[in-house]
Amino acid sequence: MKAYVFPGQGAQFSGMGKDLYDQFPAVKEMMAAANSILGFDITKTMFEGSAEDLKQTQITQPAIFLHSVAMAKALGSDFKPQMVAGHSLGEFSALVANGVLEFEDGLRLVHQRALAMQDACDKTAGTMAAVLGLADHLVEEICENTPGVVAANYNCPGQLVISGALQAVEKACDSLKEAGARRALLLPVGGAFHSPLMEPARTALAAAIEATTFSAPVCPIYQNVTASAVTDPEEIKAHLISQLTAPVKWTQSVQSMVADGATEFIELGPGKVLQGLVKKIASEVGTSAPVF
């Protein structure tokens, strides 16, 4: 069974999507619509912008979303998802791909999400740190004993990201190294994503999500918050609202998809990050990405 997976923030690169734009009229039309909806020329930044340009949250998130959805569009009738999942931001791409959200609505929500997250980052000094080589339960234990820090991204066994207030995360990193972590290093991010510090963003985005039409999906989505198959539009909506302050259960999502019959994971979007994570979670499955 084929599972399509969609990457999140950090996968962007200069020139992203240009090959699809040049080859597929439907993609060119979609990207022109995106420029109009956003009110600025995002495709110009995607195709010609520097790495620094693309690092801005309000650019990064819609750019990755657009690239991912464009790949699904380029597959045409060959795109027949049986299950989907997205890593954080990628969940919005997955919801367009499986028919829950219209492209235009998905893009608007992603843009609002990016602006709301940036605003939350500006209000509180938060950060994230990658923890390598330590069992999840030990990382969770140290987070519980360090006020202001939570486990944020369960990326794969032995790779967990923590999130929270700057000084609290720095303190947790020291404790994690003492506990035997191979590495515990601060990430170059603008804020404490997937932590309670994102509550202002969650509140802002909730209103936009509630006002958006969510349709029945063509296949289940394995959402970050639950790591299990979801098909009810109202349930999908609720989980999407919770996502900003809840951990990304990527390891658990992939394990659930494999348990439910996934044998091949196809990554749609820039980069190959998810293919690498999937292989570390379930070495027996196939991973790939379309070549255009």
Catalytically active residues, by annotation: 88, 194
Number of residues that this document lists for the chain: 292
Residues 6+ apart with CB under 8 A from 162: 128, 129, 131, 139, 143, 149, 150, 151, 152, 169, 172, 176
Whole-number Å distance between alpha carbons of 268 and 245: 25
Q: Which residue has the tokens 């997976």?
A: 5
Q: Which two tokens stand for residue 172?
A: 């947790």
Tell me which H or E stretch contains 3.
Answer: strand 2-6
Whole-number Å distance between alpha carbons of 134 and 132: 6
Sign of dihedral through CA atoms 33, 272, 58, 233?
positive
Whole-number Å distance between alpha carbons of 92 and 240: 9
Other beta carbons less than 10 A from residue 69's beta carbon? 28
Other beta carbons less than 10 A from residue 211's beta carbon? 9
Sign of dihedral through CA atoms 64, 65, 66, 67?
positive
Residues 6+ apart with CB under 8 A from 207: none
Q: How far is CA 82 from CA 5, 215, 263, in A?
A: 11, 17, 11
